[in-house]
Amino acid sequence: MIHSERLTRTFLALTAIDSETYHERAMADHLKECLTALGLSVEEDGVGELLREESGNTEPHPAGNLIARLPGTLPGDPILFCSHMDTVKPGVGKKAILHEDGTITSSGDTVLGADDAAGLAEILEMLTVLVEEDLPHRDLEIVFPVAEELFTRGSKNLDYSKLRAKDAYILDLSGPVGAAAWAAPSILAFEAVIHGKSAHAGFAPETGVHAVRIAADAIARIDNGHVDENTTVNVATIHGGILRNVVPDEVVVTGEARSLDHDRAEQELEKIGVIFREAAEALGGTVDYTTFECDHAYRTPPDAPVVRRFQRACEELGFEPVLQNTFGGSDNNRFALHGIQGIVLACAMNDVHSTAEWTSVSELTKAAEIILKIATLEDF
């Protein structure tokens, strides 16, 4: 019952809307119109204002998270569907191109925005079919968060008392449709501010304490990449120094650890902190080392109803369901912390976070068929 041409038009319209992180106002307004026209109740929270200081957004009314509801006739608790409204940079002036073979790309100078306009379009198409065809379905809750791309800042600040659903499907996974992530990592970040002592690099370098040298010694001792099969470490940025003829007295190094085991991520950051402190002490400097949590790991049981419902939907449609881990965060990391079991569905986005991002009409249609089937299944 999915209308592929309509779904494609919806997707193209959504990608034409500028919605970089913290600038989702136009997208939120458009989605509210679409949801209201379908008869859903829609509310927008105040998260946009809450995030104003950190976002630097000077718009009069920065967008908040959207929560919408569609009452159903089938018994059981509500099912939640979620896709985020923001895109990464470069995302201003996006121009989607529909090719003859059904693939859709950007014009090459911006991202396409399938992350996550694909999920948004598929949810809107599912809702349209349910309403127009008057299909029996469960009560549905729809959440469209802001600021997902900056470590789920929107859903972190969502008022979860407004939600009744205990099962969630988050449309925000790249790769072939039919895949779903049932586990995702903790993402923990660090910042090391290394303090040395400035000196003239020509006349008296020996009187200085070289902050770059301290940073280099520490970084050389840190394992980067996969440190085990479930854990990665990345030293990401280094900034410091003022002039080439001055011994640098301050360097800032940032990075992260990710692990499907939260404790392992914490262990790696503790190890990195020790390395920085030892390197600084050895050369007469000091370091301010701080860590913070971006996302917390979750693991949804493979026999949970939210998983079995997805598997059954795929099987009834003749698709092969594939369960996998992901090393990316999503709004599902936040839902899991609030007692909502979820999985993240592949939703027809590929080569995301790049100007080579692409999707296809056939995959968009397949993803929409899956969530429509999930919403209308009776036995869960």
Residue 258: exposure state from Cβ atoms within 10 A (0-12, 13-18, ≥19): buried
Residue pair 217/192 in contact by the 8 Å Cβ criterion: no
Question: Token pair of 326, please?
Answer: 């992901």
Backbone angles phi, psi at 26, to 5 degrees: -65, -40
Cα–Cα distance, 207 to 201 (Å, whole number): 9
Cα–Cα distance, 29 to 245 (Å, whole number): 53
Residue with tokens 């040395």: 196
Q: Which residues are part of the catalytic machinery?
A: 86, 148
Contacts of residues 49-56 at CB distance under 8 Å and 24 or more positions apart, as own/partner, are: 50/157, 51/22, 51/146, 51/147, 51/153, 51/154, 51/157, 54/153, 55/21, 55/22, 55/147, 56/22
Cα–Cα distance, 324 to 239 (Å, whole number): 37
Question: Alpha helices, DSSP H only, in the chain?
Answer: 4-15, 25-37, 47-50, 52-55, 114-132, 153-156, 211-221, 262-282, 305-317, 331-337, 361-376
Cα–Cα distance, 18 to 37 (Å, whole number): 22
Nearest to 269 by CA among 259, 279, 278: 259
Residue pair 181/344 in contact by the 8 Å Cβ criterion: yes
Overall size of the chain counted in residues: 380
